[in-house]
Chain A
Amino acid sequence: MTKSPIILVIGTFDTKDEELNYLCARIRAQGAEVLTMDVSVLGNPSQPTNISKAEVAAAAGRTIDEAMTAEDENVAMQIMAAGAAMLTAKLHAEGRIQGMIALGGTMGTDLALDCARALPIGVPKYVVSTIAFSALIPPDRLSADIQMILWAGGLYGLNDICKATLSQAAGAVVGAARAVEPPNPDRPVIGMMSFGSSALKYMIHLRQPLIDRGFSVAVFHGTGMGGMAMESLAEQGYFACVLELAVAEIGNLMVGSIVNAGANRMTSAPKRGTPVIAAPGFGDMIDFAAWAPVPERFRDRPYHAHNRLLASASLTAEERGDLAHEVARRLKSGSGPVAFVLPTQASTHGTPKACQPTIPKPWRRWSAPIAQQ
């Protein structure tokens, strides 16, 4: 990577001028260069930024006056977000920046998520946010390799707490720009959905043969965020083929579990025309948060807390059938070729550990005796 990476610093320089200038100073102190982009609407920065708010609005095909006189702050911000995302992509494509970092409360974060999505995998994209990790962040707006940092105590002015965060953030983005090994652009990539190998073994059987055929193999964890990441890449046409071999995220979506990968899950590859091979992995259970009350409708079913984060419960026969039809509907939502491999012996999936009498050879055979809870 270049010795002096150029980092795009994005923020509302009217209200966060001091914090952003501190961040820029810390980035420069690491030996990197800074390109500043002001996405504020109403006020003015203490000194001109490299990219002005007017240029941001113009990139969205609008004027800053239109943003300033927009009917509300939401409309204004979306004008700036469109322009900022466009400029972020353009600056990177032109080789003028090697990474981005954005600072935000809810407005700035909303805009920053669009900017991060505009950059390819392997380009450092940092969002320093007062709402990092919160339920306010919709998973389907996250880039597959976004880095978020919680910024607390910095709503109004610098102090030791937020300086500790901002200085680390500066080190992170510069360090990332220097350390990154970007993806090989020439090797076709297979995206595969799976769960851990104690449950599903096909990733072990498939990985090396696929590598031998010349593919790079990216296996995504079906616990919501993994599917979201895979879906966002599928939407960009990133994959040569997608192996949708586990369907639990669709089941989770159908029952309203937070462990889902967004409403569009499993539709991007078909719509893109990317070939898909699918299978009913984990089609008999759903996941939910282990730290929240068990959802009402699952309270009378076998349930197992995998750890303090994640718990699983079984689907009824009827629910599994509904899931099958929903999976089919999504796979048919585009024009891409789809193959479905249906293992008719105990497929998949999980018998929750609570139902197993011993340390399991889990999920191997339906006919293995289990104890009732």
Chain B
Amino acid sequence: MPAHDPEALAAMVSAYRAAMTVPIQLTELDCHINDEAFSVEVLRIIDRWIADGTITMTR
């Protein structure tokens, strides 16, 4: 089957939505993984984790 398959994509997104439950912190974005918006969200999480001490900035 071709990789380009909107149904398969929808099914995959549903599966991730169903699988990534608490304690995983799930964020959905209406974008493509290659869009800058995706990376912006990753950085937003990192900044939050630096601020609250989840990420340790010293070794």
Contact = CB atoms under 8 A, between A and B. Distances in A.
Interface in B16-56: 16-21, 23-36, 38-43, 45-47, 49-50, 54-56
A369 to B, nearest CB: 8
Interface string A311-354: 00010111011101101100110000111111111111111100
B9 A328 contact: no
B33 A355 contact: no
Contacts of A327: 19
Nearest to A237: B59
B40 to A, nearest CB: 8
Given A206-B39, A314-B2, A328-B21, A275 B55 contact: yes
Nearest to B46: A241
Interface string A192-223: 00000000111001100110011000000000
Contacts of B17: 342
Contacts of A245: 33, 42
Contacts of A188: 55-59
B38 A202 contact: yes
Interface residues of A, number: 67
Contact of B49 (A275, A318, A363): A275
A135 to B, nearest CB: 29
Given A205-B36, A351-B3, A340 B15 contact: no
B45 to A, nearest CB: 5
B17 to A, nearest CB: 7
Q: B interface, how many residues as a size bin?
A: 35 or more
B24 A363 contact: no
A198 to B, nearest CB: 10
Most buried by B among A201, A210, A345: A345
B46 A187 contact: no
Nearest to A338: B24
A275 B54 contact: yes
B19 A285 contact: no
A317 B12 contact: yes
Most buried by A among B18, B30, B45: B45
A240 B57 contact: yes
A340 B16 contact: yes
A159 interface: no
B24 A206 contact: no
Contacts of B16: 280, 283, 324, 328, 340, 342
A324 B15 contact: yes
A293 interface: no
Interface string A175-201: 000000000011111000000000011
Which 8 residue pairs across A and B have the least CB separation, nearest first? A321-B15, A205-B39, A328-B19, A324-B15, A317-B8, A317-B11, A201-B34, A320-B12
Interface of B: 1-9, 11-21, 23-36, 38-43, 45-47, 49-50, 54-59
